[in-house]
A and B are shown apart, each in its own frame.
Chain A
Amino acid sequence: MKIEVNGEAREVNSATVSDALQELGWANARVATALNGTFVPAAARDDTPLTAGDRLEVLAPMQGG
């Protein structure tokens, strides 16, 4: 199905946030996730289903002031 990952259209086969992270190569990365603007804690990724058109944000530590 088609979802948006970090603002880009992506085709994924995953049914959950946790599977999508695996599929996108972020299985072991230190990242935080939000789905459609709502925070998805790491512990909830397995149980958070994906639907076509979802917006997934995957954020990582970055420089800041």
Chain B
Amino acid sequence: MRNFYGVTLDTPLMLGTAQYPSPAVLEAAFRGSNASVATVSLRREGGQGQAFWDIIRGFGVHILPNTAGCYSAREAITTAQMAREVFETNWIKLEVIGHSDTLQPDPFGLLEATKTLAADGFEVFPYTTEDQVLAARLLDAGARVLMPWGAPIGSGLGLNNRYGLKTLRAAFPDVAMVIDAGLGLPSHAADAMEMGFDAVLLNTAVAQAGDPAAMARAFGMAAQAGALAHAADPMGPRDMAAPSTPVLGKAWL
């Protein structure tokens, strides 16, 4: 059974905590989704940090701090160190961004930061692409979990490169992988889980929905349905029709 640095999650949904219309809606989304992980960040203290900390602790889920907005390994490493102290966890969703339009990872900075942080006892969840060579390097550097993107952060496009993701999944059968970013609909989450990924992480698709709590619930159900379907060993597709009702015994009319 693949796990996340020794932790087996109750449900395969990781949910972001940003962009909700209010703390009450955030809470409703979490309750409805059955998410088992909440992603959080660190920002300059402006007076709301302490109240937010109390809210997320009340969810009773695993906390996964991120290094969102970091454009260099150095910045991401310092942010990770600060996050470890504040959130009291070795988990870090490592983002080293390479381009502001696509928010795609900078593979070189990501690898450098993964190396440093893993050596320093962090349990790194690198936000990466579907690139198989980069994945191998990240694993060599000490990552035990990978978080390949579905599509650019906030785009809602779903799984942009199913072939690449499928190949990545098959290449590292023992590595826990989370599809992180770009999901827009619950069907995207089910698709990812049916492909054998271990969890999905999303934020915007829920927070920006007209009814975030209902959408959170839909994503939670879809992720669990996809996981169940994958475990149930789906049939393969075929080009020709095949009757499901027995031909034998049909009347001669």
Whether A associates with B in a native complex is yes
Least CB distance, A44 to chain B, in whole angstroms: 11
Does residue B45 face the partner (Cβ distance < 8 Å to A)? yes
> Interface residue tally of chain A, by bracket?
20 to 34
Judge whether B41 and A30 touch: CB under 8 Å. Answer: no
| CA–CA, A7 and B85, complex, Å | 22
Binary flags per residue of B43-74, CB closer than 8 Å to A gives 1, else 0:
11110111011001000000001101000001
* Stretch from B11-19, B27-35, B187-195 forming part of the interface with A: B11-19
**Chain A residues with CB below 8 A from B40, complex form:** 61-64
Least CB distance, A1 to chain B, in whole angstroms: 21
Least CB distance, A39 to chain B, in whole angstroms: 4
Does residue B81 face the partner (Cβ distance < 8 Å to A)? yes
Judge whether A63 and B78 touch: CB under 8 Å. Answer: no
| CA–CA, A65 and B206, complex, Å | 11
Say whether, besides A60-B50, A64-B66, A65-B16, A6 and B78 are in contact (CB < 8 Å): no
Among residues of B, the one whose C-beta sits closest to the C-beta of A38 is B78
| CA–CA, A59 and B81, complex, Å | 12
Say whether, besides A59-B82, A59-B86, A64 and B65 are in contact (CB < 8 Å): yes
Judge whether A65 and B153 touch: CB under 8 Å. Answer: yes
Say whether, besides A32-B86, A34-B82, A65-B18, A59 and B42 are in contact (CB < 8 Å): yes
Say whether, besides A64-B16, A64-B68, A65-B203, A57 and B53 are in contact (CB < 8 Å): no
Q: When A and B form their complex, which 4 residue pairs have the shortest distance between CB atoms, in order from nearest?
A: A60-B49, A64-B41, A65-B16, A32-B82
Can you sample 16 A-B contacts with CB below 8 Å?
A: A29-B45, A29-B50, A30-B53, A34-B78, A39-B81, A39-B82, A59-B82, A60-B42, A60-B46, A61-B53, A62-B40, A62-B42, A63-B52, A64-B17, A65-B17, A65-B18
**Which residues of A line the B interface, CB within 8 A?**
6-7, 26, 29-34, 37-39, 41-42, 57-65
